[in-house]
Amino acid sequence: MSTGACHKNRLSVIHDDTNYRACRLLQEENDGIDADVRLTYDISVSELDNSAVNTVVSFNLANLLIGALLAALIAGIARRFRSLTISGAIATVLTGTIVFGAGQFLFAVPLIFFFVTSLLLSRLKSPRKSQASQYGQKEGARDLWQVFSNGGTAVICTIIYLITGEVIWFVAYLAAVAEATADTWATEIGMLSASRPFDLITLSKIDAGLSGGVTGLGTFASLAGAFLTALVGGVMYCTVSGNWEALLSMILVAGVSGFAGGLIDSFLGGSVQGQYRCPRCGKRTEKRRHCDYSTELTRGFSFVNNDVINFASTVAAAVTASVFSG
Ligand SMILES: [Zn+2]
């Protein structure tokens, strides 16, 4: 795939036009000196012939309808499992309709992977987990804000891809979905951990279920979630475009960006996110009320809740991926 000296040490083999032109100039010089010394180029995601993908990804009414039906089916199943509130189900149908309508299966499959695995993991119950989940701001079914905070960046990237047709927006999309998966897996699996999480900033042990807490098990789940989502999206892209040489770089860029976004999530969750203390029982919590008392802000900002942090982290993952790809 790569013998080009120009980009040997790049984590991503995606490079921009300037780099590409520099390579060409170098090659032309070499052609003049020695015909046997030829540079070949890295296969870059941005250089790939994207026309195969663009014919698959186009916007029309039929796609919107298929998207709406598919999303309604998934939201309906989630409602049966009591994993979504009514507003969460409506947000899911909206998200699914736009993503499928604009990006079809290429974009829809990674999102479905995130959604279905999150749904299944939320069904994993243990006494430790129910103990841990009571500290969070929201428990049980996800509402509209939780759905949009996880899927909003993905929707924006899908729409920009539809307009520009640039692969970089698919990679950014994939990183945002990988981050949402990483964060959800880390939370759902991390709460099963036998050891208490430690705060990423103070490095002290904290109660399970509080934002900013990190466990070894949760970190492993985060890595697995990010890279499996990246694998699913990468395989989808290569199947549609027919170019399998992009697979490794796509998995690396989206996986690393998604995992990094998950770390940013924990960092922000332990610093700027509002955390409160119950005046009655003294427990730290993310709830505004506890034991029927109004809680007191002890850290962060009251307007920064978990949804804000989740949205910021998916944006961070998408930006990281586009920097790698730039
Ligand atoms: Zn209390």
Question: What DSSP string runs through 49-112?
Answer: --HHHHHHS---HHHHHHHHHHHHHHHHHHHHTT-B-HHHHHHHHHHHHHHHHHHHHHHHHHHH
133 C-alpha to ligand 1 centroid (Å)? 14
Average pLDDT, the chain: 83
Q: What separation in Å is there between the alpha carbon of 213 and the centre of ligand 1?
A: 20
Å from CA of 278 to ligand 1 middle:
5
281 CA distance to ligand 1 centroid (A)? Answer: 4
Find the 132 Cα to ligand 1 centroid distance in Å.
Answer: 14
206-232 tens-digit pLDDT: 888 788 888 999 999 999 999 999 999
Collapsed DSSP state (helix, strand, coil) of residue 275? strand
Distance from CA of residue 89 to its chain's centroid?
20
**How many A from CA of 282 to the centre of ligand 1?**
6
Percent of the chain with pLDDT over 90: 56
> Rounded to a whole number, what is the distance in angstroms from the first to the last CA of the chain?
19
pLDDT of residue 192 exceeding 90: no
Residues across the chain:
326
The alpha carbon of residue 321 and the mean position of all alpha carbons in its chain are separated, in whole angstroms, by 11
Expressed in angstroms and rounded, the spacing between residue 302 Cα and the centre of ligand 1 is 18
CA of 190 to the centre of ligand 1 (A): 24
Residue 295 CA to ligand 1 centre (angstroms): 8
pLDDT at residue 189 tops 70:
yes
Q: How far is the CA of 304 from the centre of ligand 1 (A)?
A: 21
Domain ranges of the chain: 1-42, 43-325
At 273, give phi and psi (nearest 5°): -65, 135
From residue 231, alpha-carbon distances to 43, 112, 178, 238, 284 in Å are: 18, 14, 10, 10, 38
C-alpha 276 – ligand 1 centre gap (Å)? 10
Cα 297 to averaged position of ligand 1 atoms, centre (Å) = 13
pLDDT tens sequence across 98-148 = 999 888 899 999 999 999 999 899 888 777 777 777 777 777 789 999 999
**Distance from Cα 134 to the centre of ligand 1, integer Å:** 11
| pLDDT above 90 (res 199) | no
Distance between CA 60 and CA 55 in Å, rounded?
Answer: 12
Using the predicted structure, report yes or no on whether residue 306 has a pLDDT greater than 70: yes
pLDDT over 80 (residue 21): no
Please state the rounded mean pLDDT for residues 244-270.
95
Q: Which of 157, 38, 28, 147 minimizes the C-alpha distance to 95? A: 147
Distance 310 CA to ligand 1 centre (A): 26
Taking the C-alpha atoms of residue 230 and residue 247, their distance in angstroms, rounded to an integer, is: 9
Ligand 1 centroid distance, CA of 131 (Å): 14
Of residues 313 and 10, the one with the higher pLDDT is 313
Residue where the block lists tokens 């039906």: 69
Q: Name the pairing type of β-strands 284-285 and 296-299.
A: unpaired
Residue 143 or 195, more confident: 143
Q: What is the pLDDT of residue 38?
A: 36
How many angstroms is it from 290 CA to the middle of ligand 1?
4
Q: For residues 74 and 15, what is the distance between their CA atoms, to the nearest angstrom?
A: 38
Do 2 and 11 touch, CB atoms closer than 8 A?
no
For 326, other C-beta atoms within 10 Å of its C-beta total 11
From ligand 1's centre to the CA of 155, what distance in Å?
38
